Amino acid sequence: MDKIPYTLQRSNRKSIGFTINAEGLKITAPQWVSQAIINQAIQAKKTWIQSKLLQWRQQSPTPTNWQHGMPLPYLGRQIIVQLNPQLASCRYEGNYNLAQDNDILYINLPSTASSHELKSACTQWFKGRALAWFETRLHHFGQSSGAKPLQLRLSSATTRWGSCSANGNIRLNWRLIHLDSDLIDYVIAHELAHLKEMNHSSRFWTEVGRILPGYEAAKHKLKQKSLHTLPIL
């Protein structure tokens, strides 16, 4: 059997589960399942696994052409970047909290600005918006569920949307701000649930549902997303 690399996580689930994303193949198996049974399960799903892995490998980010008039995703919408050296700072023309396609993000740079300068300015603006959005949503969920982290920090991880440490600190990938707000809420609820359950047991998913009822649709949508295909890398 051709070997397929994977990561293995043991859990209290009743069956073997397969997850394939930009990080590769992840197998979640019950504590009692032997390596031989896992190997048999991989062999049985080999064609499906290889097909899905190939799909992810073929997904490559479109090179970002940093220039006046370029589109960038913000809260699931495509906003337009325009240069305006007359401004003292960046300015967003639209509703920060309810983005619409073709809203304008004015960057206070001249038309002669380099791609590096434009990328840096956009990155700084998006990070600022990400922190503000995450803090607002964490406060919202804290008010309704009582789940509050000791500290929030932005992450620039290349493979993870978020994480929660054992001491109660949460890190959220700032590039989440590119995605629809319901996906951001799901990641936040996911990490908040880890404040009580540092695992992915049934109790954990019950806690996610308590914080964010109906989270399942957003969970499914997020599996179709990859940090590797976002424009700011």
| Percent of the chain's residues with pLDDT above 90 | 61
Q: Which range, of 42-56, 68-82, 200-214, averages the lowest pLDDT?
A: 42-56
CA distance 147 to 212: 11
- Domain positions in the chain: 6-58, 71-229
CA distance 181 to 204: 22
Residue 136 predicted with pLDDT over 80: yes
Query: Sorting pLDDT into bands at 50, 70 and 90, what band is 177?
Result: very high
What pLDDT score was predicted for residue 60?
A: 54
CA distance 10 to 88: 54
User: pLDDT of 67-124, one tens digit each?
Assistant: 999 999 999 999 999 999 999 999 999 998 999 999 999 999 999 999 999 999 999 9
- CATH pick for 71-229 out of 3.50.50.60, 3.30.930.10, 3.30.2010.10, 3.40.50.300: 3.30.2010.10
Q: Is the pTM of this model over 0.85?
A: no
